[in-house]
């Protein structure tokens, strides 16, 4: 019998590097389908890391699986819509759905988009024309995405509600319909529908790196004057300043924003060597962001390092201080007066719309936008100040031959310095 995968899981590799959330969701979905009575044993669902072995032609394998699967579950995210091969997978499967509609006049909901990580901009129309939200999925799903729910409470009500709805949709289309097969599908000839969102290719823009420094409290002991333990964890990296005080942590939120802006990032905890690290970052043509817990900043562990930062000039470093409006403890005016003493020099430019590198009392709904703008502005300033690093001295180059006629400057249209695209391509589930 010819293979017809019960479903194909399409996702961006960049969303799952260093973690196992995609694999966990795949396993949970297969288990939920079994609970609903679906028999997938004869037509094993497709997940690339399980079905593409060493030495196999991955592009040919992907084409075969997409051309024969019964349903496709797409984990939509900023990385997904910027992935060349995710776009190809989407287009290839959608063509089968459209062909079936032409042949039968039946709309089969076999292309199932899932909000894996929320997008800062509007969902591309190629995706939003398909229903990716139902009221039963809950507001938490829209705010955090399914990966956020899986990260914070993998067995929780919100995650299970979405999982059950997805499984029911997959079972419905896989058991009742058979889309026309696409024999010999060559993904190399398929064009991604996310036109204008795809990276233009290597060399159009160098991906920047952002060093993220966290100055936050822990549960034991809590910052002085703080009573609410649920906002903290055993490490400063576990800090969750927004209500409800659950994951994703502010560090995770920050890294998600930075990825969306086409940059890479690392996480560090603020210590006495902060100033030297910021100088090192700038020397290496990197930008930095300080995420500061107003409660912890008043203590000796961080106060000295942050005050030293305030007295120095760090033009490509941003500071962001989160605060949730319903956290009654953080409404204390003395808390912010103390923070003003820590950042005496920078306090005058707080929340300046024209100089967005010092943002305080940033509410949850504004966190992503404020941080994204901070990263972009810091990167732009870095490009103005970046110093090329010289290679070690070598033998002198031979003299250049002279030109017998003046060489005209390139026209504006031919100017090779004009940017052509945003950043290097992200990987799809097949690459």
Q: Which of 324, 312, 245 is nearest to 274 (CA)?
A: 312
Domain spans in the chain, listed from the N-terminal domain onward: 8-189, 209-385
* Residue 287, pLDDT above cutoff 90: yes
Work out the average pLDDT over 51-55: 40
Q: How do residues 117-167 score in pLDDT, each as one tens digit?
A: 988 777 888 898 898 888 899 889 988 899 989 988 888 999 999 999 999
Range of lowest pLDDT (231-245, 251-265, 272-286, 412-426): 412-426
For domain 209-385, the CATH architecture is 3-Layer(aba) Sandwich (3.40)
Q: Which range (18-32, 145-159, 194-208, 217-231) has the least confidence?
A: 194-208
Please tell me whether the overall predicted TM-score, pTM, comes out greater than 0.85 for this model. no
Mean pLDDT of 242-261: 78
- Report the pLDDT value the prediction gives residue 403, as an integer from 0 to 100: 36
Question: Percentage of the chain with pLDDT > 70?
Answer: 81
pLDDT at residue 302 in the model: 96
Q: What is the mean pLDDT of the chain?
A: 82
Nearby residues of 270 by Cβ (< 8 Å), 6 or more positions away: 213, 214, 215, 236, 290, 302, 305, 306
Q: How far apart are CA 157 and CA 217, in angstroms?
A: 29
């Amino acid at each position: 019998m010819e293979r017809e995968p019960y479903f194909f899981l399409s996702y961006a590799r960049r969303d799952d590097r260093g973690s196992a959330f995609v694999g966990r969701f795949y396993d949970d979905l297969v288990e939920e389908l079994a609970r609903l009575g679906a028999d997938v044993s004869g037509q094993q669902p497709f997940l690339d890391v399980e079905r593409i072995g060493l030495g196999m032609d991955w592009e040919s394998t992907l084409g075969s699986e997409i051309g024969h699967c019964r349903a496709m579950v797409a984990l939509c995210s900023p990385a997904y819509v910027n992935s060349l091969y995710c776009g190809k997978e989407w287009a290839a499967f959608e063509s089968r759905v459209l062909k079936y509609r032409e042949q039968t006049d039946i709309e089969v909901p076999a292309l199932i988009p899932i909000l894996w990580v929320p997008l800062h901009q509007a969902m591309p129309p190629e995706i939003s024309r398909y229903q990716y939200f139902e009221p039963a999925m809950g507001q938490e799903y829209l705010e955090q995405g399914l990966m956020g729910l899986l990260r914070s409470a993998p067995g929780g009500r919100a995650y299970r509600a979405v999982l059950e709805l997805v499984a029911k949709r997959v079972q419905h289309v896989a058991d009742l319909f058979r889309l026309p097969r696409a024999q010999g599908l060559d993904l190399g000839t398929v064009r991604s529908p996310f036109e204008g969102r795809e990276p233009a290719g290597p060399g159009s823009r160098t991906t920047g790196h952002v060093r993220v420094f966290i100055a936050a409290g822990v549960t034991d002991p809590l910052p002085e004057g703080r009573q609410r333990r649920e906002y903290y964890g055993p490490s400063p990296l576990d800090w969750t300043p927004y209500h409800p005080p659950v994951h994703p942590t502010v560090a995770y939120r920050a890294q998600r924003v930075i990825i969306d802006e086409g940059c890479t990032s690392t996480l560090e905890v603020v210590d006495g060597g902060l100033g030297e690290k910021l100088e090192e970052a700038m020397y290496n043509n990197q930008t930095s962001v300080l995420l500061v817990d107003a409660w912890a900043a008043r203590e000796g562990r961080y106060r000295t390092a942050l005050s030293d930062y305030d007295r120095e000039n760090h033009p490509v470093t941003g500071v962001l201080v989160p605060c949730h409006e319903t956290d009654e403890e953080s409404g204390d005016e003395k808390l912010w007066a103390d923070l003003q003493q820590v950042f005496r020099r920078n306090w005058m430019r707080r929340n300046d719309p024209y100089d967005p590198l010092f943002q305080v009392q940033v509410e949850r709904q504004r966190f992503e936008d404020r941080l994204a703008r901070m990263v972009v502005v810091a990167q732009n300033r870095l490009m103005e100040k970046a110093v090329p690093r010289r290679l070690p001295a070598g033998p002198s180059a031979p003299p250049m031959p002279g030109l017998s006629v003046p060489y005209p400057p390139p026209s504006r249209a031919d100017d090779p310095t004009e940017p052509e695209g945003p950043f290097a391509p992200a990987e799809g589930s097949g690459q």
